[in-house]
């Protein structure tokens, strides 16, 4: 449980830094999205590691091994697409979808112990809320800065007249 919660620190730190500074920090948003993609890769590895042992309740078949590779590809695809489109929102939403889908799959697939499913649910919700909070910061804090800049420009125009 402690290790899982420690894994949420990079997720939660991003919106905390933005909210406490009052600014959307694009580099921090990108770092958080990269971290989310690495977590997707880790989750695929968890599935692979669960499936491979001979005493596993899941067979190492194409379904289970294939499922274990998809999260890495999804995370990488989200980052590449976001970079190609020059849009952090695309990468962020892609990673959020990947985490949500793999979370649903892990919770609905047989074999994982109940304690793991509970932990997986809590950590996934924490990661998704943090990623969503950064999206909210992007739109709310950037709009706040835009409005402030417009007011400053109007104020400068009044002073120069």
pLDDT along the chain (161 residues), means of 10: 91 96 94 97 94 89 91 97 94 98 92 92 97 95 68 59 60
Q: How far is CA 11 from the centre of its chain?
A: 7
Match 């995370």 to its residue by tokens: 75
State residue 109's pLDDT score: 86
Q: What CA–CA distance (Å, rounded) separates 111 from 99?
A: 19
Contacts with 79 (C-beta within 8 Å, 6 or more apart), sequence order: 33, 34, 37, 91, 94, 95
Question: How far, in Å, CA of 52 to CA of 110, rounded?
Answer: 15
What pLDDT, on the 0 to 100 scale, is given for residue 146?
62
Q: Return the pLDDT at 123.
A: 97
pLDDT value at position 161?
60
The answer to whether the beta carbons of residues 18 and 134 sit under 8 Å apart is yes
Mean pLDDT rounded to a whole number for the chain: 90
Residue-range domain boundaries for the chain = 14-154
The pLDDT of residue 124: 97
């Amino acid at each position: 449980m402690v290790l899982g919660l420690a894994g949420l620190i990079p997720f939660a730190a991003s919106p905390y830094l933005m909210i406490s500074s009052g600014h959307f920090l694009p580099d921090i948003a990108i770092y958080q999205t990269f971290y989310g993609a690495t977590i997707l890769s880790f989750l695929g590895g968890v599935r692979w590691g669960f499936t491979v042992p001979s005493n596993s309740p899941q067979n190492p078949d194409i379904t289970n091994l294939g499922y274990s590779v998809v999260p890495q590809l999804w995370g990488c695809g989200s980052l590449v697409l976001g970079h190609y489109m020059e849009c952090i929102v695309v990468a962020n939403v892609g990673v959020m979808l990947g985490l949500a889908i793999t979370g649903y799959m892990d919770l609905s697939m047989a074999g994982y112990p109940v304690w793991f499913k509970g932990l997986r649910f809590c950590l996934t919700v924490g990661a998704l809320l943090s990623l969503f909070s950064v999206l909210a910061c992007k739109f709310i804090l950037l709009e706040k800065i835009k409005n402030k800049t417009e007011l400053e420009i109007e104020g400068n125009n009044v002073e120069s007249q």
